[in-house]
Amino acid sequence: MKHQNENRDYKTWFITGASRGFGRVWADAALKRGDKVAVTARRLGSIADFKEKYSENVLTLELDVTNPDQVKAAVEQAHAYFGRLDIVLNNAGYSLVGTIEEANADDVRAMYDTNIFGTLSVIQAALPLLRAQGGGHILGISSGLGQVTLPVIGYYCSSKWAFEAIHESLAKEVEPFGIKVTIIEPGAYATEFGSQESLKFAAGMDIYTDFKARFFERLKTSERGDPEATPDAIFKIVDSEHPPLRLFLGSHNLPWIRAAYAERLATWEEWEPVSNAAQGKSK
């Protein structure tokens, strides 16, 4: 059923991973401001309260992003219900906890199936619809860890580096069709992302026990932002005529990443003579 409303002052959203964390916060905030939202989650019961609260302004869909056929059907159903999709927000994802040596290939593949291939399924399902309607905005929820890394969650960091590269290329490819792309890079926030539902643990090795204990102890003392303070930033992005390719959420990412890039540049410059010598003679 196509949702009918002659007033087009509102925006329509498709949000994955809306059962908790940023996905739930932003879906609720968008609905409160009068937008229409297709909220999706692996378990329909986890988002049933949206329907009770917002009635026809929300469409609740069960969605496992690792199932491409289900993704395509959900995106098309949301588009048909609302008549268009203005914002496609990829939020579904989780972190794999384990050192590079500890995690096995199956653990890593499973995480990539959600964090990368699930995201790709949503993007590829949405693009024909966005092109046909003359535009739209794809929001990819990355992390400050898409720019720098931490130990123990290195594979999660790697998924976000891949996520960033994909969206940066995508932005150039779809710009001619009037489609915008923004990568959202949150810092540490007090969401459910650190819960058992959002983390999977690789089998541990005794040699890393002390190292990981110290790592988690440091994490416990890190300052975390308030998720409820973030919707205004997201709305500024989606309401902007010229949104940026990237946006940090929180005040800690920029100083951290500024220092990391300064160190990288210093290293590259120190080794520039070696790099240049490897060029050889032009042919």
Backbone angles phi, psi at 177, to 5 degrees: -95, 5
Q: Is the dihedral of CA 144, 146, 151, 153 positive or negative?
A: positive
Helix, strand, coil in percent for the chain, rounding step 5? 55, 15, 30
Between the CA of residue 192 and those of 110, 198, 204, 226, 227, what are the distances in Å? 20, 7, 23, 12, 10
Annotation says 159 is catalytic: no
Annotation says 51 is catalytic: no
Annotated catalytic residue within 143, 160, 180, 189: 160
3-class DSSP state of 137: strand
Annotated catalytic residue within 142, 143, 158, 159: 142
Annotation says 156 is catalytic: yes
Rounded to whole angstroms, how far apart are CA atoms 95 and 17? 14
Please give the distance of CA 209 from its chain centroid, rounded to a whole number: 30
Annotated catalytic residue within 81, 112, 156, 189: 156
Residues 200, 95: contact at Cβ < 8 Å? yes
- Residue 225 buriedness (CB in 10 A; 0-12 / 13-18 / 19+): middle
Place of tokens 């291939």: 117
Residue 211, both tokens: 């190292």
Catalytic residues: 142, 156, 160
